[in-house]
Homo-oligomer: A and B are copies of this chain.
Amino acid sequence: MTKPQVARGQAEQAGLSRRERVREATLTEIKAIARRHLVEHGPAGVSLRAIAREMGMTAPGLYRYVSGIDALLVAITADMFDELGAAVAAADASVPDEDTDRRIRTSLRAFRAWAVSHRSEFAIMFGPRPHVDPNADTAPAIEAARRFAATFYTLFDRLLAERRFVLPDSAHVTPELARELRSFAETCGFSAPHIPVEAVMVLSSCWVRLYGVVCMEVFDQMSVVMRDMEPLFESELHTVLTGLGVRYEPPGSTAPTTIGSSD
């Protein structure tokens, strides 16, 4: 049992022994190369042997760092969720705090922009999970996904607090749906203590629409029939935002929300 957390040579960041630092570094390199192979050759193009080859070592050596190819995929998936979250957060932070509407527009557009410019990554993160054996540890990716989702919960919470839109008639929420929505709200730990199920329904519905367009675009579902999917995304964004009481402005617009133009 080694415990070198006090005596160290020079100033090292975050109480890590030299060994731990170089270990961390190679793990980072592994993930970086895996990531590059993912975007260059698709999900099937990520192989331990190819990564090892590129690093100047042999495949079994990688097992000191990763428990297998599946775990590696899970690890980089978690990283990608964090990266997507950071991209959205950066977009959000790039506009003045008080301009809520523009912040929301910018954040949602950042989501799509990241998705279309990181198609392979998006496919792994939001696409089908190929038959995953039950004992696989997907916790890191799920946790990262939860963190990412929280970004949008926060934005939505603000709209809710500002009473931007009227909640739908509760008669439209069947008991079964209410049960699922409550489960949703509880499991993902909404910040608001007692959020009405109608609000969760609105959030779900909006998310379904945006998720739908982006998936259609990234998965190349309409490529035979449509060349550019941005207009359709903008159209969906328009109706979603309008329904949420958020002002819509076309992408290039720099006009602040308070100064109205034509709708």
Binding site for B on A (CB under 8 A): 41-45, 119-120, 122-123, 126-131, 142, 146, 172-174, 176-177, 179-180, 183-184, 187-188, 201, 204-205, 208-213, 215-216, 218-222, 224-232, 234-236, 238-239, 250
Contact = CB atoms under 8 A, between A and B. Distances in A.
B183 A231 contact: no
A205 B128 CA distance: 22
Given A177-B235, A208-B209, A211-B216, A131 B41 contact: yes
A184 B187 CA distance: 40
Nearest to A242: B172
Contacts of A127: 123, 127-128, 219
A246 to B, nearest CB: 16
B131 A180 contact: no
B130 A184 contact: no
Contacts of A187: 224-225
Contact of A131 (B45, B204, B218): B45
A129 B216 contact: no
A104 to B, nearest CB: 19
B228 A174 contact: no
Contacts of A44: 130-131
Given A42-B131, A126-B221, A130-B42, A204 B232 contact: yes
A109 to B, nearest CB: 15
A74 to B, nearest CB: 14
Contacts of A211: 212, 215-216, 221
Given A176-B231, A183-B226, A183-B227, 9 more contacts: A42-B131, A44-B130, A122-B128, A127-B219, A128-B128, A174-B235, A205-B239, A208-B236, A209-B212
Contacts of A122: 128
A6 to B, nearest CB: 41
